[in-house]
Chains A and B, each alone.
Chain A
Amino acid sequence: MITIGIDAGSATTKAVLVNGESNIIKSIRPTAFDFVSAADDACEDVLEMSGIDRKDVKHIYSTGYGRNSIKFADKSISEITAHTKGVHHLYPEVRGIIDIGGQDCKVISVTDGRVMDFIMNDKCAAGTGKFLEYTARALEVPIDRLGDVALSSENPAEITSMCTVFAESEVISLRAKGFSKEDIAAGLVRSIARRVAVMARQMGLQENVAFVGGVAKNTGIKAALEKELGISLYVLPEPQITGALGAALYAQEKHQ
């Protein structure tokens, strides 16, 4: 059976075509302002790459922020289920998932590829990519270097504020007090790690935990989170496509 999963994210749209269990073709496109045409284009990409005709596709499932606007999809599923399926396929031992995205942070407890429980942070940017983005800006360090800069600190500064806006001003006042960029960066990374670790402990995550989402690429955050939790985290080789892959696999499963 041939199925396609589309992950309509706010920044990028991903499509994955699954033929059987293992034959996987993928495409990633910027979403720009239009979920539907980005989804359509990504869908065309995978069809073209695989040389498969659209009418031979049995089911299209959508996920992601724009999942409900993709009207040509047969069904939409939540990112939580989709990522869990996708991660499980690539990393079958997975027992827990930490997903730090731009807008939110999710922690999922997994058994045999099924979601057992999950939590998400609330209406607030603390503990998300946005927190890092804003505070890194106040520190004048490019976001993708924040983790590395942090790794070279020996005395992390204490960032006490929970709120993104106040943390930003805390960074400015720490700079005024003469703290080094490295120490402040380390403080920021530690503060996000602490926050996420609280969620992970609430979920009881212990081993075989995968770290996904945009922030997972940041080695400094990964290291801080591992230290905080006392476990090592598994980062997938292709963290961006797990949602679309999971949606395609979910469709396979449902229509077996």
Chain B
Amino acid sequence: MHSFKTPDKIKNSYSSRICQIADERKKGKKVVGTFCLFVPDEIIFAAGADRVILCGGKNETIPIAEQYLPRNICPLVKSSFGSLVNDGSSDVKSCSHFSMVDMVIAENTCDSKKKMYELLGNYIPTYVIDLPQRPDSPEALKYFLSELEKFKSAMEELTGNRVTKDRLREEIKSSNETRKLLHSLYDMRKKDPAPINGTEILKLLQRQYFLSPGEFKEHIRNLIKEVEESEPEENHRPRILISGCPMSGGNSKVPEIIEDRGGMIVAEESCTGTRSFWDPVDEDKEPMLALAERYIKIPCSCMSPNDRRVDNNLELAEEFDVDGVVYYTLQFCHGYNIEKHKVQQALKKAGIPMLFIETDYSGSDVEQIKLRVDAFMEMLS
């Protein structure tokens, strides 16, 4: 497989981005931290603020969190909380992003996150956007729109800037450009063999919420160019769609094992994947309404019913011509774990094999996962 330069460059851009944020803050810019795709970036940027994502993907901060939180909740929530509220009692460093944010913009999604945000409020101002749980009901859109309006006011208050329709339109256009660029990158993955490893793409997507939108676009453009200029690979490898829980930065265990054992991830039905950019925002509509319509459609498992996610899996499997689906969930993530059954039934009907892997951030099950992935690859080849 080729090694591309862009992923390395992105890795190295971390420290300069941290300096950039620190500088901006000195000049009075506000920075918010988010945890979820339901929080529209466009509103944050239109208010003249910057944002970073605070989702934890590392194992080391979990013991710190377990001093406050129950052990049996998902590692993402524990890792996030642990990196934020590190009380200095261990040598684990807290997340450097946390000290840079003026406010956390949270959202009512799964139970663990909701309740974690309540505790987080003791450490940092935390604004919670409420989400309607039944996105298909006629009232849901109206309610979500009103929540977004309130959120907009909160951002105006935080930054002291007015969020005008024009500013929103500009930001929607800019975000749509990013989405389009990502679509072109994903179109390249439809080739067989795909010209770039899924793990590389994942690492790019994990960083999309840390880099500034401008810098991120630049990196995708460069990567697209690099991929276009690369020599195509010869051998077919089983084409895999990975579906399920988010894979936050630091957590790429399962994709790495899949590709290490001969598979090729060609798409991710995940918040660190297609869910983050697939649908554009309608540029012709009233901007707040267009945002509400786009964001309410995110097929997160905290929504009910959530058949949209089942359909998405089938569509992606077909569009990317996959040989199999790896359904990946984090331990104690009830939403995605329970939804497994529906997705599995639908895939079975469509004749697409599926492997289920439930894991956490530790390395203790690496051998077991390798064995399953090996067997799955042998089954597909």
Q: Give the B-binding residues of A (Cβ under 8 A).
A: 65, 76-81, 104, 114-120, 122-123
C-beta contact mask, B326-370 vs A, less than 8 Å → 1, else 0?
Answer: 000000000000000000000000000100101000001101100
Please state if B365 and A123 are interface contacts (CB–CB under 8 Å). yes
Q: How far is the CA of A78 from the CA of B378 in the complex (A)?
A: 8
Selected A-B contacts with CB under 8 Å, 6 pairs: A77-B374, A78-B371, A78-B374, A80-B372, A116-B379, A118-B375
Please state if A77 and B358 are interface contacts (CB–CB under 8 Å). no
Please state if A115 and B364 are interface contacts (CB–CB under 8 Å). no
Q: How far is the CA of A242 from the CA of B26 in the complex (A)?
A: 68
Taking the closest CB of chain B, its distance from the CB of A1, in whole angstroms, is 20
Question: Which 7 interchain pairs have the tightest Cβ spacing?
Answer: A80-B375, A78-B375, A78-B374, A81-B378, A115-B379, A123-B365, A78-B371
When distances are taken between beta carbons in the complex, the residues of chain A under 8 Å from B367 are 65
Q: How far is the CA of A115 from the CA of B367 in the complex (A)?
A: 20
Can you name the residue of chain A whose Cβ is closest to the Cβ of B360?
A123
Taking the closest CB of chain A, its distance from the CB of B97, in whole angstroms, is 31
Among A104, A115, A122, which residue has its beta carbon within 8 angstroms of that of B375? Answer: A115
Please state if B379 and A81 are interface contacts (CB–CB under 8 Å). yes
Taking the closest CB of chain B, its distance from the CB of A128, in whole angstroms, is 12
Taking the closest CB of chain A, its distance from the CB of B366, in whole angstroms, is 11
Taking the closest CB of chain B, its distance from the CB of A76, in whole angstroms, is 8
Please state if B372 and A115 are interface contacts (CB–CB under 8 Å). no
When distances are taken between beta carbons in the complex, the residues of chain B under 8 Å from A118 are 372, 375, 379
When distances are taken between beta carbons in the complex, the residues of chain B under 8 Å from A79 are 371, 375
Q: Which of A78, A104, A116, A118 has the most CB of B within 10 A?
A: A78
Please state if B365 and A120 are interface contacts (CB–CB under 8 Å). no
Please state if B358 and A122 are interface contacts (CB–CB under 8 Å). yes
Can you name the residue of chain A whose Cβ is closest to the Cβ of B354?
A117
Please state if A123 and B371 are interface contacts (CB–CB under 8 Å). no
Q: How far is the CA of A119 from the CA of B368 in the complex (A)?
A: 12
Q: A115 with B378: in contact, given A78-B371, A120-B372, A123-B365 (CB under 8 Å)?
A: yes
C-beta contact mask, B159-187 vs A, less than 8 Å → 1, else 0?
Answer: 00000000000000000000000000000
When distances are taken between beta carbons in the complex, the residues of chain B under 8 Å from A122 are 358, 365, 368
Please state if B353 and A81 are interface contacts (CB–CB under 8 Å). no
Taking the closest CB of chain A, its distance from the CB of B237, in whole angstroms, is 16
Q: How far is the CA of A116 from the CA of B378 in the complex (A)?
A: 10
Q: A77 with B368: in contact, given A117-B353, A119-B356, A122-B358 (CB under 8 Å)?
A: no
Can you name the residue of chain B whose Cβ is closest to the Cβ of A104?
B368
Please state if B378 and A120 are interface contacts (CB–CB under 8 Å). no
Taking the closest CB of chain A, its distance from the CB of B71, in whole angstroms, is 14
When distances are taken between beta carbons in the complex, the residues of chain A under 8 Å from B372 are 78, 80, 118, 120
When distances are taken between beta carbons in the complex, the residues of chain B under 8 Å from A117 are 353, 379
Q: How far is the CA of A119 from the CA of B379 in the complex (A)?
A: 13
Please state if B371 and A80 are interface contacts (CB–CB under 8 Å). yes
Q: How far is the CA of A118 from the CA of B355 in the complex (A)?
A: 8
Q: How far is the CA of A30 from the CA of B236 in the complex (A)?
A: 39
When distances are taken between beta carbons in the complex, the residues of chain A under 8 Å from B365 are 122-123
Q: How far is the CA of A120 from the CA of B355 in the complex (A)?
A: 10
Q: How far is the CA of A79 from the CA of B375 in the complex (A)?
A: 8
When distances are taken between beta carbons in the complex, the residues of chain B under 8 Å from A116 are 353, 379
Q: How far is the CA of A81 from the CA of B376 in the complex (A)?
A: 9
